[in-house]
Amino acid sequence: MALVAAACSGSSTSDAAASSTAAEPVSTTDADAASPTEVPTTAAPTTTTEVPCEAPPSGEATTDFAGRERTYVVQNPVEGIVEGTPLVLLLHGFTSNPERILEVSTFDELGTEVLVVAPLATGQPSSWEIGPPPQPPEERNPAYDGPDDLGFLLDLTAKLQADYPCLGELWAAGLSAGSAMAAVFMCAEPEGLAGVGLVAAMIPAVCAASSVRPMWVFHGTADIAVSYEGGPQTVGDGTIDLPSIEDAVRDWAALGGCDTDEPAEAVTLAVDVIVRAYGTCPDGISVQLHTLVGGNHNWPGGPDDQLPPVNTSISATCVLLGQMLGRDGAPYDLCLT
């Protein structure tokens, strides 16, 4: 059965926004009052060689995949590609588009040191085929009527890596249905994938253990499109049952080899931001959930014309860039407002 985690656009026209004030981090745990001293992080290698390399043209581009023209948008680093520049696959939500996800995520402003490629989904309306790979015809999402999206994303990133060898690690991130698709992309174990950022949607941990990469999850407790508490989720003409976000994150951590017998460590970063992490994981694996208290179905730290309220205490993109660019230590000092 295909697994679809959201059928909601990553944008809204409302100007309302959440107003919250960042507090000094206060440590707690889900089980008792024991306090960890820091949030576990997985830092990516830093870029050290400042030699300009060939880069793809910025702006809209097309490529042929499986006999069909596919569109994507490229955003190059401000200073150009250097050896080790991260490649970020950024996926939009249901009915949205590449330009909007660049804006909503603020990668258009903050992603100045990475190469971002934002493809366009071609299902009608603009939607991704979401389900655990591989997807034989009988398991395709019945609400999806487009071509092989997963194959396209794998082909596109592989071509970019081959054509521009200066590119470093591959990352994937998305909002809403794009977040679920980023998880499906991880399940396919693409070459060089270093981690994923999942905002406002997940899929259950149904993939191979070998597919798990570091995961940074952001989800609002008041999400009206993909409930934080889980339960029935309407997808097209059907309904599927999703686990709660906390259960889904625990299941992914367990699949990745983390010790989930004990509750995840929890640190309160702000009055409306709690980060939970399983501290005992295999080398190179980190699974973290950023609970946005009172947050809705949107990108935290993004513009206020998303579905309100928008969490303004933390920038999800800042956190992800901290990992992609290998900034030392926990990234939160720079990412709390």
Alpha helices in 107-257 (DSSP H): 107-110, 149-163, 177-187, 245-255
The whole-number pLDDT of residue 35 equals: 41
Rama region for 47: left / alpha / beta (φ>0; ψ in -120 to 50; rest): beta
- Look up tokens 């080398």; give the residue: 283
- Strands, DSSP E only, in the chain? 26-29, 59-65, 68-75, 85-91, 115-119, 167-175, 193-199, 215-220, 231-235, 238-242, 265-270, 273-277, 287-292
Residues 226, 231: Cα–Cα separation, whole Å: 9
pLDDT classification of 139: cutoffs 50, 70, 90:
low
In sequence order, the 6+-apart residues with CB closer than 8 A to the CB of 93 are 6, 8, 9, 10, 11, 101, 174, 175, 176, 177, 178, 179, 200
The whole-number pLDDT of residue 24 equals: 41
274 vs 39 pLDDT, higher one: 274
Average pLDDT of the residues in 179-186: 94
Residues 113, 149: Cα–Cα separation, whole Å: 27
Beta bridge partners of 276: 266, 289
Q: Which domains does the chain have, with CATH numbers?
A: 26-335 (3.40.50.1820)
Does residue 25 carry a pLDDT above 70?
no
Does residue 300 carry a pLDDT above 90?
yes
| CB-based contacts of 164-167 (< 8 A; 24+ apart in sequence) | 164/53, 164/54, 164/55, 164/56, 164/81, 164/115, 165/53, 166/53, 166/54, 166/81, 166/82, 166/83, 166/84, 166/85, 167/81, 167/85, 167/86, 167/87, 167/115
pLDDT classification of 217: cutoffs 50, 70, 90:
very high
Does residue 48 carry a pLDDT above 60?
no
Does residue 134 carry a pLDDT above 80?
no
Average pLDDT over all residues of the chain: 83
The whole-number pLDDT of residue 218 equals: 98
Task: Work out the percent of the chain whose per-residue pLDDT is above 70.
Answer: 77
pLDDT classification of 20: cutoffs 50, 70, 90:
very low
Q: Please give the model's pTM, rounded to 2 decimal places.
A: 0.82
The whole-number pLDDT of residue 45 equals: 47
Decide: helix, strand or coil at residue 40: coil
